[in-house]
């Protein structure tokens, strides 16, 4: 897990924060937020909030009381304790792409399968830059619909020994995730003490939380498992076309979801989220890696700190159809600000392509390279007299070179970042090596990593119990 | 010209700045700096500095006196006054790639020609994101060696109406540049009042200024034209393998060059520079777009402000052999910090490929896209009540969409960044459009821009005088 001890890049003035603060207060109190679930409406009514139909009109002070119940930071356990994570503070936790129905492998784009899911989980396990394979690394379209969540959770639990994300398609799916996690971690008490599942709960923006998401959220909160409350704002579609309006709406949505979570389990960890981009207003299609999304991301970090909440944003987002220059620059246009903001939880950090419709193997490698570079870039320099290497200057003098200097010889192995994918070969050598561009080289790295993959050890009794659970539940679901 | 009104990202503590300050003082006073030119040594001796052979041992306080003579900001005139620039403060000035012997066009890599030079100058003219075509946009290998500087200056003067960089191959070449600039701007007095040429003077790092560069520098300083004093530090080769050591050396080199410039013309504008990257210690080849270079760049901005100097750093640097994902992410890994640092003068901002050996047409377009995006990203948000668009929320309500909202309709044309190169087309539409990746699309944009190019108007008498000067000097040089 990476600690970002570099300064935060903050761009909002105190006045701007105050305007945004007034913005969400007005939205929740005057327009209100819809909750598509009777239980949620009852909880809000009981807590003294005005409810009219599906709409809850929230008192901002009540919302802030709920905010104060949320832990600013929390731990999560992985089945390999070396992979435990801490969410909040200066820590950054990274997971792979989430939710793509398609995969891309070289020139082939096709529907994702369970085999793809497994391979992407194995890749996630093999790179220490990822703290989690995430959840739905791709949608396994060849697995039966009603029970594929079981296959996915089983794969995450057995092919990786890192934290994973819970299924949120329905309340029963969430319950299955929790049961299987109890098996893996030795019972409910263990995971209530230190959570082991983190789950993505999406708002139906603008300003509506739907029934199925609320059901899943209810299950996870009841088990004290963290929820990542996500307004999904493509400006122009789900929010107005200005960044400040989107930020105020994002606060209204995330904080109202947070209040819902605290009402069912006070103190349940939640993660505040920006997933903020915009439509391409000419094409009408979603646009990722835009300047507006980078600005929104930087503001979000500052707002999260203002309200004392751990937060999620960023990732390797882009709109590109292939793993090309556009995919790379749009991804870094999001990922570098993700580090500047000190983001605590980063989904989609490896493999995202084509606006999230595609999990791309080669892009996965490109993104891991970016994460590796950024970890070095966001590690503070040590600057003291010794670091000035005055002796090396005395040794080399004027117009000479430092290749053979003692100071260099002592450090050359690890003094600089060593790339995974990037090539510095001169042109002739590069041609001799095959003249492959970065994406073609990434294909080779995917094969190599998968060939070298080693499954993390697992207690056979537990593995068997998990497999038994999957089989029983699949039968019960009629798949 | 872009004004960067966003906050600077500063990563050095006051203690760290003090350590680096002690570092350069010790280098210039104890190891000294070599100057390969008798006139320079005499000037330093006359100013009371100890000279031993080629080596000048500088009193740091004397150096700082010279620093205080340098203007913190200065204007430059272009032949189209709309393209005048200001160097320093919150202004950022961008020029194209400089110095490449090769060009790349699609899959073809070949020696650069004068025709390439002209085409790249025309591209630079056509994009307002570039304030200058730079100087040696590529090396025109088919033009006679001794007189090609005349062809280049003439091309920059006639195909563009922006500022340009002076030739620095020798003193006489610099003198030709100045003469031709006097013709274009109506005489010496005009350009001494407001400079029109900015020139790259490279240090032979470590710690040596060579004769030919000093000759060129002498000519430009005598005419009060700004010089960009550039330590070229590939850590591991021209400097020790730690960033702090490179920063101290960079200060020693740049400030000693600055002192030389001030001794010949007090108050002559100079630009402080970091061109700092590292060797790939496994391959032995230069590496660009590295985390270390990004860190060095951020520190350089802070140091330049500490000493009150305008500064150059950054650009679209990368080591990649093609215009691929690596080229894109390495370039942005340099270019985004270039904006975070608030860099005043940015060379190599468009077209750089393969460690600077190649000027690439497609990469030129990719870089212009990055500059366009970053200009939006580094424009402060306006956050006030109106920007919250509360009325749009009242109009749309819960779970609706904002596409048809009045607030959207009034703003959809220019509310978001509009890409030049990036595509957000869905997969089917993208296939229908040819299924081209970003680099292939860039090829199309290069052709389109060159076809649409309009030469800026020029007084025919002046053009003819310039052509006459070129012809006379070429004859005199025997080419």
* pLDDT tens string A47-83: 999 999 999 999 999 999 999 999 999 999 999 999 9
CB-based contact A237 B411, cutoff 8 Å: no
What's the pLDDT at B47? 98
So what's the pLDDT on residue B9? 98
Average pLDDT of chain B to the nearest whole number:
97
Q: Give the orientation angle of helix A243-264 with respect to helix A60-69, to 10 degrees.
A: 60
Q: Is B433 on the interface with A (CB under 8 A)?
A: no
Nearest C-alpha of chain A: how many angstroms from B447? 19
Distance from CA of A194 to the nearest CA of B (A): 35
What average pLDDT score do residues A282-289 get? 92
Q: Which of A329, A407, A421 sits opposite B241 (nearest CB)?
A: A407
Question: What is the average per-residue pLDDT within A373-394?
Answer: 97
Q: Concatenated DSSP letters for B357-385?
A: TEEEHHHHHHHHHHHHHHHHHTSPPP-ST
Q: What residues in A contact B241, CB-CB < 8 Å?
A: 389, 402, 407-408, 411-412, 415-416
- The yes-or-no verdict on residue B457 having pLDDT over 90 is yes
Say how far apart CA A341 and CA A114 lie, in whole Å: 35
Query: Once rounded to an integer, what is the mean pLDDT over residues A422-431?
Result: 97
Two tokens at B404? 């048809």
Q: For residues A295 and A298, what is the distance between their CA atoms, to the nearest angstrom?
A: 5
- As a whole number, mean pLDDT of residues A269-289 equals 94
DSSP symbol at A385 = G
Entry field: residues in chain A: 479
Question: Cis peptide before B206, with omega less than 30 degrees from 0?
Answer: yes
Among chain B residues, the shortest Cα distance to A316 is held by: B329
Q: Nearest CA of chain B to the CA of A71: how many Å? A: 29
pLDDT of residue B283: 85
- Residue whose token pair is 């993660």: A271
Q: What is the mean pLDDT of residues B121-148?
A: 98
DSSP per-residue codes, A250-275:
HHHHHHHHHHHHHHHSTT--EEEE-E
User: Which H or E run contains B131?
Assistant: none
Q: Does the ipTM exceed 0.95?
A: yes
Provide the pLDDT for residue B249. 98
Q: CA-nearest residue of chain B to A107?
A: B435
What is the average per-residue pLDDT within B323-337? 98
Q: Which residues of A touch B35 (CB under 8 A)?
A: none
Phi, psi values for residue B191, rounded to 5°: -80, -20
In the prediction, which pLDDT does B196 show?
Answer: 98
Q: Taking CB atoms and an 8 Å limit, are B321 and A425 in contact across chains? A: yes
- For A335-373, what is each residue's pLDDT tens digit? 999 999 999 999 999 999 999 999 999 999 999 999 999
**pLDDT tens for each residue of A84-129:** 999 999 999 999 999 999 999 999 999 999 999 999 999 999 999 9
B398-403 mean pLDDT = 94
Beta-strand (E) ranges in A220-319? Answer: 227-230, 232-235, 270-273, 275-280, 285-287, 311-312
- pLDDT above 90 coverage of chain B, percent: 99
> How far is A177 from A19, CA to CA, in rounded Å?
41
CB contact under 8 A, A208 and B399: yes
Chain B environment of A385 (Cβ under 8 Å): 19, 22
Q: How does residue B221 score in pLDDT terms, banded at 50, 70 and 90? A: very high
**Which H/E stretch holds residue B294?**
helix B291-307
pLDDT of residue A397: 94
B17-45 pLDDT, tens digit per residue, is 999 999 999 999 999 999 999 999 999 99
pLDDT per position as a tens digit, B71-113? 999 999 999 999 999 999 999 999 999 999 999 999 999 999 9
Please choose, from the candidates B320, B290, B313, B330, the residue with its C-alpha nearest in 3D space to the C-alpha of residue A416. B290
* A4–chain B nearest CA distance, Å: 13
Write down the pLDDT at residue B35.
Answer: 98
pLDDT for residue B131 is more than 90: yes
pLDDT at position B282 over 90: no
The per-residue pLDDT for range B224-252, each reduced to its tens digit, is 999 999 999 999 999 999 999 999 999 99
Collapsed DSSP state (helix, strand, coil) of residue A227:
strand
The verdict on a CB contact (< 8 Å) between A402 and B6 is no
Query: What's chain A's average pLDDT?
Result: 97
Comparing B152 with B282, which gets the higher pLDDT? B152
- Residue contact B332–A327, C-beta within 8 A: no
- Residue in A303, A318, A337 with CA at minimum distance from that of residue B339: A337
Q: What are phi and psi of A287, to 5 degrees?
A: -125, 130
Identity of the residue in B32, B389, B416 whose CB atom sits nearest the CB atom of A245: B389
Candidates A13, A205, A212, A402, partner chain B, best to mutate (most B CBs within 10 A): A402
The pLDDT of residue A206 is: 98
Nearest CA in chain A to B370: A329
Q: How many CB pairs under 8 A join A and B?
A: 381
Mean pLDDT of B282-304: 95
- Quote the tokens at residue B204: 């032979």
Q: List the one residue out of A42, A6, A16 whose CA is nearest residue A244.
A: A16
Are B398 and A57 within 8 A, CB to CB? no
Q: Please give the pLDDT value at position A283.
A: 85
- Coil vs helix vs strand at A305: helix
At residue B125, the pLDDT reads 98
In the stretch 344-363 of chain B, residues with CB closer than 8 A to chain A read 354-355, 357
Residue B476 clears pLDDT 90, i.e. is over it: yes
Distance from CA of A31 to the nearest CA of B (A): 7
On the question of pLDDT at A479 being above 90, the answer is no
The DSSP letter of residue B28 is: I
Taking CB atoms and an 8 Å limit, are A295 and B381 in contact across chains? yes
The pLDDT of residue B479:
86
Of B7, B292, B422, the CB nearest to A319: B422
Contact between B416 and A336 using a beta-carbon 8 Å cutoff: no
Read off the pLDDT of each residue in B303-323 and give the average, rounded to a whole number. Answer: 98
Tell me the pLDDT band of B424, cut-offs 50, 70 and 90. Answer: very high
Query: What's residue A142's pLDDT?
Result: 98
pLDDT per residue as tens digits for the range A431-473: 999 999 999 999 999 999 999 999 999 999 999 999 999 999 9
For residue B177, give how far its alpha carbon lies from the nearest alpha carbon of chain A (Å). Answer: 28
Instruction: Give the model's confidence band at A282: pLDDT under 50 very low, under 70 low, under 90 confident, else very high.
Output: confident
Name the residue of chain B whose CA is nearest to A297's CA: B377
Answer yes or no: do A387 and B207 touch at CB < 8 A. no
């Amino acid at each position: 897990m990476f600690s970002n001890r570099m300064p935060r890049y903050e761009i909002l003035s105190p006045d701007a924060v105050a305007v945004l603060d007034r913005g969400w207060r007005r939205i929740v109190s005057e327009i209100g937020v819809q909750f598509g679930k009777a239980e949620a409406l009852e909880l809000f009514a009981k807590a003294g909030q005005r409810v009219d139909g599906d709409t809850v009109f929230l008192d901002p002070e009540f919302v802030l009381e709920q905010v104060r119940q949320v832990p600013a930071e929390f731990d999560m356990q992985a089945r390999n304790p070396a992979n435990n994570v801490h969410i909040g503070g200066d820590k950054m936790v990274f997971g792979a792409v989430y939710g793509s129905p398609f995969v891309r492998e070289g020139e082939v784009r096709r529907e994702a399968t369970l085999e793809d899911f497994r391979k992407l989980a194995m890749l996630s396990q093999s790179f220490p830059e990822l703290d989690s394979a995430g959840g739905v690394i791709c949608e396994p379209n060849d697995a039966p619909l009603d029970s594929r969540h079981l296959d996915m959770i089983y794969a995450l639990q057995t092919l990786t020994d890192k934290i994973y994300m819970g299924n949120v398609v329905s309340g029963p799916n969430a319950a299955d995730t929790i049961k299987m996690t109890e098996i893996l971690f030795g019972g409910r008490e263990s995971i209530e003490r230190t959570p082991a599942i983190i789950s993505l709960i999406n708002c139906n923006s603008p300003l509506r939380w739907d029934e199925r998401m609320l059901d899943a959220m209810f299950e996870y909160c009841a088990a004290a498992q963290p929820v990542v409350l996500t307004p999904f704002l493509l400006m122009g579609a789900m929010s107005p076309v200005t960044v400040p309006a989107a930020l105020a709406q994002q606060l209204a949505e995330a904080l109202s979801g947070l209040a819902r979570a605290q009402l069912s389990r006070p103190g349940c960890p939640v993660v505040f989220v920006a997933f903020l981009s915009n439509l391409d207003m000419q094409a009408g299609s979603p646009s990722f890696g835009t300047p507006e999304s980078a600005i929104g991301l930087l503001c979000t970090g500052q707002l999260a700190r203002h309200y004392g909440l751990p937060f999620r944003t960023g990732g390797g987002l882009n709109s590109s159809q292939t793993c090309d220059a556009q995919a790379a620059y749009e991804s870094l246009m999001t990922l570098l600000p993700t580090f500047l903001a000190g983001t605590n939880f980063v989904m989609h950090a490896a493999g995202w392509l084509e606006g999230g419709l595609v999990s791309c193997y080669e892009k996965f490698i490109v993104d891991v390279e970016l994460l590796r570079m950024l970890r070095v870039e966001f590690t503070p320099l040590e600057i003291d007299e010794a670091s000035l290497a005055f002796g090396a200057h005395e040794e080399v003098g004027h117009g000479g070179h430092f290749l053979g200097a003692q100071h260099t010889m002592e450090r050359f192995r690890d003094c600089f970042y060593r790339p995974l994918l990037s090539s510095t070969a001169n042109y002739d050598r590069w041609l001799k090596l095959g003249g492959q561009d970065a994406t073609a080289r990434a294909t080779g790295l995917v094969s190599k990593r998968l060939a070298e993959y080693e499954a993390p050890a697992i207690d056979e009794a537990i593995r068997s119990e998990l497999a038994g659970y999957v089989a029983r539940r699949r039968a019960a679901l009629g798949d």
